[in-house]
């Protein structure tokens, strides 16, 4: 009997684990203010800020990043285990747990990013671009009477594309599972 393997699941699981490793070093989205004076390196895995030479993170974001690392790692491993034995009795539950994680991370990441830029715009009247560049004037209460304008450049980085690819492979694994299940002899 030919062993059934979900190749999309293997590719998706590896892509998810690779994404976690790479995202610790490369952000999904980056905002640069001025000539590298301020940098925001953002991803669901690791978020930090470089501010005029000093680097820091927001503790609550760090906690959520750790949550994301744990969930995506467990999800990736679950997907890999499922993929080698997709017909085992426990596999359907592993697939159900694993394939959603990168998709949820991707959706939550984009939603949070859009929400944060909108909140910053409404609270501080700062026009932070999601993609591309924007010249923004800081509120006068922050600048002691002077007019201070800064160039902000934002862009999605290549790990974001890898995240889309990983999510796509995981969804493909879910659909391929149906094909494996229907091909199983009664």
Partner 1 sequence: MQILGLILALISIGAVAGPVAGVVLVYQNNPVEMIVPSEIEALIDGSFGADEPFELPQYVSSSFDPSTQTLTATFSFANPFEFDLRVNSLSADVECAIHAFNLGHAELVDSVPIDAGDTAMIPVVFKWTQAAEDHFLTAHSGAASIDVELVNLGVDVSGIIIETPGSVSVNVPLPQ
**Residue number, 140 or 158, with CB nearest to partner 1:** 140
Specify which residues 41 forms β-bridges with.
30, 48
Q: How far is CA 125 from the centre of its chain?
A: 27
**Given the rule CB under 8 A, which residues bind partner 1?**
33-37, 49, 51-54, 56-60, 62-64, 66-67, 70-71, 74, 78, 89-90, 93-94, 97, 142-151
- State how far the Cα of 91 lies from the Cα of 79, in Å rounded to an integer: 9
**Residue number, 146 or 186, with CB nearest to partner 1:** 146
Q: How far is the CB of 2 from partner 1 (least distance, A)?
A: 25
For residue 10, give the nearest of 84, 62, 101 by alpha carbon.
84
- Do residues 157 and 28 lie in contact, with contact meaning Cβ atoms separated by under 8 Å? yes
Q: How far is the CB of 41 from partner 1 (least distance, A)?
A: 14
**Residue number, 33 or 128, with CB nearest to partner 1:** 33
- State how far the Cα of 65 lies from the Cα of 38, in Å rounded to an integer: 21
**Residue number, 54 or 182, with CB nearest to partner 1:** 54
């Amino acid at each position: 009997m030919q062993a059934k393997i979900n190749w999309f699941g293997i590719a998706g699981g590896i892509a998810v684990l690779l994404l976690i490793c790479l995202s610790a070093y490369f952000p999904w989205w980056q905002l640069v203010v001025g000539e590298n004076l301020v940098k925001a390196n953002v991803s669901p895995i690791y978020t930090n800020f470089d501010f005029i030479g000093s680097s820091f993170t927001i503790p609550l974001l760090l906690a959520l990043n750790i949550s994301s690392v744990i969930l995506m790692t467990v999800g990736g491993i679950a997907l890999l285990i499922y993929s080698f034995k997709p017909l085992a009795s426990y596999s359907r539950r592993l697939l159900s747990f694993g394939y959603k994680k990168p998709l949820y991370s991707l959706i939550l990441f984009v939603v949070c990013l859009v929400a944060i830029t909108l909140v910053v715009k409404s609270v501080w009247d700062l026009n932070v671009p999601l993609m591309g560049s924007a010249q923004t004037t800081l509120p006068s209460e922050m600048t002691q009477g002077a007019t201070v304008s800064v160039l902000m450049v934002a862009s999605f980085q290549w790990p974001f594309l890898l995240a889309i690819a990983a999510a796509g492979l995981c969804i493909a694994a879910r659909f391929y599972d149906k094909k494996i299940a229907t091909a199983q002899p009664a």
